Each structure stands twice: as C-alpha cells, then as structure tokens.
C-alpha cells in the first residue's frame, strides 16, 4: 500500500512511517540544524538498533522532513527528541508525527509518556499542551544554547489512553 500524501504549502508530505537505523545520517542532519549540541549519525544508528527505541518519520520529496524518537521501559516511555525541518515548522508536521507516535506507544502498552523541552520553545510547548501534556517539573540550566547561555528544561508528562 502506498503512503498517502498531504499538502503543506508546496511540499508533498508522506504519511508517518517507522524510523529505521538507515535513517541515522538524515536524523543527524536534521538534528544539527535544530540543536546547539546535535547528536551524531552513529548515535542515532545505535539508538535505532536498540530494541527499546523506536520512532516515526515523515518525508517530503523523498527526504526526511521530521522524526520523533522514544525509548520505552515497561509501560512508560520518554520522547528523546523530535525534530521537524525548519522550513516546514508551524504547518502540522510535528502534530502529525506525534499523533502517529502516540498511537504506536498505546499499541505497545505505554501508559505514561515523558519528555523535556526548552521552556522558551513556545511552538513546541503549544503542541505538547494541545496533545495533553502537563508540566511535572523543571531542570534548571539543563540546555546549553549556542551562545553558551543555559535554558531551563520543562519536564512534561502525559497519561496514555
């Protein structure tokens, strides 16, 4: 069965699919464009070969346009990272990825989900709140920005239904 496509501006986006170890280099490239301290392709490949880790990817024009990666332990999971191509943000790509991921987590029996997010990332916070995440705590000075300053991480959680 072919992936359905939907339109986001001029980009044709694929339906979410499973993230694969062979996506490691593309994951690293997207991560590098979005984070001050990006992960290497080898780190993504190692995570994606770990049976506890899995994720969803979305493509535009046959290239990785976004992904979400989690690690599961029993009935809990943590979103390790989520990235959407900077040119495709604020167009529903992240919400589509997370919705697919939440469905996958439920199918795996996950009942609690956690993540950390920079407290200044308003777009991400709005998305997480729309999907039912609430703040559980804070890690002071957790993220180091490109300019060397530190930002707090909010710890968010969500009960799976």
Q: Establish whether 142 is a catalytic residue.
A: no
Q: Looking at 45, 56, 59, 116, which residue is catalytic?
A: 116
Q: Looking at 45, 56, 59, 128, which residue is catalytic?
A: 128
Q: Where in the chain does DSSP place strands (E)? A: 5-8, 11-14, 17-18, 53-60, 63-73, 76-84, 112-118, 134-144, 150-159
Distance CA 48, CA 66 (A): 15
Q: Establish whether 116 is a catalytic residue.
A: yes
Rounded to 10 degrees, the C-alpha dihedral 69/24/65/90 comes to 40
- Which amino acids are annotated catalytic? 116, 128
């Amino acid at each position: 069965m072919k992936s359905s496509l939907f339109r986001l501006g001029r980009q044709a986006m694929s339906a979410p699919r499973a993230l694969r170890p062979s996506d490691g280099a593309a994951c690293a490239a997207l991560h590098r464009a979005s984070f001050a301290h990006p992960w290497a392709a080898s780190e993504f490949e190692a995570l994606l070969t770990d049976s506890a880790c899995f994720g969803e990817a979305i493509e535009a024009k046959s290239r990785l346009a976004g992904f979400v990666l989690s690690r599961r332990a029993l009935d809990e999971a943590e979103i390790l990272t989520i990235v959407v191509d900077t040119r495709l943000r604020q167009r529903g790509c992240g919400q589509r990825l997370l919705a697919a991921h939440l469905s996958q987590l439920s199918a795996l029996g996950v009942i609690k989900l956690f993540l950390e997010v920079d407290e200044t990332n308003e777009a991400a916070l709005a998305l997480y709140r729309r999907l039912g995440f609430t703040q559980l705590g804070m890690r002071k000075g957790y993220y180091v920005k490109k300019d060397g300053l530190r930002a707090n991480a909010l710890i968010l959680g969500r009960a799976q239904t």
